[in-house]
Each structure stands twice: as structure tokens, then as C-alpha cells.
Amino acid sequence: MLLKNRNGTELDLQLFSGKSEVNNAINCLLSVFGSKENYYHPERFDAEYLENEIEKGNLVLYVGKTKEDGVSVPVITISLLKSLYFNKAYEFSTLAVYEKYRGFHASEAFTKMVLEDITKKGESLFYAYAVMFHPHSTITLYENGFVPTGFVPGISRADKFLSQLKLNSQKHTYAIFVKNDKTVTLEPIYVPLQLADLTREVYESLGESPVIETAGDSAARTVTEHNYDSINETLFVYVFECGTDLPDTVNRLQVEYNTSLFSSIIFLNINEPSAVYGFEVLKNLGYAFNGFMPLCGKCEFAVFTKTDGVYIDYDELQMTDELKSFYERIKG
């Protein structure tokens, strides 16, 4: 793909992928972050780890290259992860561009190339967590057909891993973006009446027309799974059914993992009638509704977050006009 910057300089960008590109990808990341200590997944700077993940099918790695003096040199890298819970889709995990090649809009162009390549392999549902300390990532996603569906406040240790940006926040906020290129059969979705219109709009923006129910009752018992990210001090809870023991279940997990910079992300299955009850319980427990993680396969999720003892400077969030409007709609 031939790109030009504002000065008319041309850049011929070619796509490469696989284990042979691991070291090029690592060097590209290092050019941006300086060292693996500045990145909250330092294992992704280890060549053997990345090669093993590629072999297991958990990671797809792409590198964009150009030729200088007849030699092929790396320009940009993008990696995609298969998610443990959202297993119908790939997550756009890493994007890094060498500084000398910025200004060519390489990230937008290369994202398009990656999407075209991986879609040929039968994949057509993609997630991205857009960082909200710079609007460029959201612009890249908009231009490639992604739409915002929710937010995840307080997920990463901004004070530790984004210190080079001089942020006031102890943790940082991400926007959830989704790209859906095929029809998915949806079960009825259960949300409170006041969220019915927003729910419908989100799914219609993804080309879906779900049946939305606004009434339901608690299940016989709560069914959950969870994992804890000790690096970012974040608890992830997946609530598949909501029983009357939901408050006790959530409180027990919070006590077990609570730290000084603790944050909790709850994904609530909204394909079960008990989800309407779950919305009310989580609200009473101090959790804020922050949108959706949709088209997830076995079940659809609503996203709830709670940050205890964590300062997030919302004035630092940088958003496009479209994303800001969606953010205000959810928070309102």
C-alpha cells in the first residue's frame, strides 16, 4: 500500500506476519516504550513467549515493512489476541509505529490491511480497547469500521506504566470498540427499561436487531467466574446468572482482592432474565454501568466498574466528538 505524508514523501507499506516477525515487532515496541518496564505486559517483549503464543493460536502478529536502499525495514506492528472469554473474536492488543514513519497515517492504513488479511481466514468479529489519553487511536478505529460500545475506567496502572505521559490519574480509562462483519444469532437481551433504547442503538450500530426484554427475576443461585490482574490490581468478574446471593458473592471477592489501587470490572450476562435483577444489585453495591461488550459468543455482556481509592482525572480523557457524545449518553 502506497502512503504519502503532508510533504508528499511516499511510503510503500507491505504486510508480513508469523513467527519470523517476532523480533521486528519487539524492536518496534521498544522504539515506542523505551523498555519493557514501561509496558504493562512485559512478557510481550520476550521472543520465545510470543513464538509459543503464535504456535498455540492465541496470538496473530503482523509487521508492516518498507524498503530503504533495497533493504526491508519494519515500520509498524499490530498484534491480535484470542480472548479467553470473548472467544468469537480477536482483540486488537498492540499497535506501535516507529517515530520516523509517523505522519503517513500508517496506523489507519495498516489496520485496514490487517483486517482484510485476517477476515480472509474466516474471522469477522474484533474488539479494541482504545486508550483515552490521545484521540488518534479512536480515529484509527472509526476509520476502519469500529463503533464504540462501552468504557472500562480504572483498568491499567497509569501511575506506573504511563508515567512518561505525566498523567494525574492513578489508573486510566479505555473505550471499548467493536467491529462486526457477519450476522450473529442473538438470544433475547434483558436490560432495565431505562436502558432499552440505548441497548437497541448499540446493537443496531453493529448491524444487529436483538429482541430486548425489560423484566425478569433472580435465578436460583449466582454463577460466576473471576480472575485477578495483580499487575494492575484489577479484579475481573463474569456473572452468568444472578441469584439472591449476588451481593454476598461480589462483596466476598472485593474483600479478598482489595488493595490500595483496587478496581473491579464486572461483565454481566444479559442473555439471562436474572440480568435485570443483577443491574439493580450492582447499582446498589456502588458499581457504575459503563456500556456493553457485545456479540461475545455464548452470552452478551453489560460492563460495570468500581474503583476504590483510585483517582481518575476525567479532564485528561481525550475523545473524538462521536466518542464524547456516546460517553455522555452512557454516563447520563
Distance CA 162, CA 159 (A): 6
DSSP 135-171: THHHHHHHHTT-EEEEEEEEEE-HHHHSGGG--S-SS
User: Is domain 2-123 given the CATH code 3.40.630.30 in the classification?
Assistant: yes
Q: What is the mean pLDDT of residues 96-116?
A: 89
DSSP 3-state of 64: strand
pLDDT tens digits, residue range 63-82?
A: 999 998 888 999 999 999 88
Task: Count the alpha carbons within 13 Å of 277 in the hemisphere toward its beta carbon.
Answer: 19
* pLDDT the model gives residue 316: 86
- CATH 3.40.630.30 in the chain, residues? 2-123
Distance CA 332, CA 322 (A): 15
- Contact criterion met (CB below 8 Å) for 78 and 110: yes
Q: Which of 47, 49, 50, 48 is nearest to 60 (CA)?
A: 50
* pLDDT the model gives residue 292: 96
Q: How confident is the model at residue 85 (pLDDT cuts 50, 70, 90)?
A: low
Q: How confident is the model at residue 88 (pLDDT cuts 50, 70, 90)?
A: low
Phi, psi of 132 (to 5 degrees): -115, 30
Question: Which of 80-94, 129-143, 158-172 is the most confident on average?
Answer: 129-143
DSSP 3-state of 49: helix
pTM score, whole prediction: 0.88
Distance CA 326, CA 229 (A): 28
- Grid cell locating 55: 504456535
Percent over 70 (pLDDT), the chain: 95
- Contact criterion met (CB below 8 Å) for 248 and 220: no
| Strands annotated E in the chain | 2-4, 10-12, 14-17, 59-68, 71-82, 90-97, 125-131, 147-156, 172-180, 189-190, 212-213, 223-229, 234-241, 263-269, 288-293, 301-307
* pLDDT the model gives residue 193: 97
Q: What is the mean pLDDT of residues 104-127?
A: 86
Give me the chain's average pLDDT, please.
89
* pLDDT the model gives residue 238: 95
189-310, which class in CATH? alpha beta
- Per-residue pLDDT for 166 more than 90? no
pLDDT tens digits, residue range 244-298?
A: 999 999 999 999 999 988 999 999 999 999 999 999 999 999 999 999 999 887 7
DSSP 3-state of 233: coil
Question: Is residue 257 classed exposed, middle or buried when 0-12, 13-18 and 19+ CB atoms within 10 A define those classes?
Answer: middle
Q: How confident is the model at residue 24 (pLDDT cuts 50, 70, 90)?
A: very high
Length of the chain counted residue by residue? 332
Residue with cell 469500521: 145
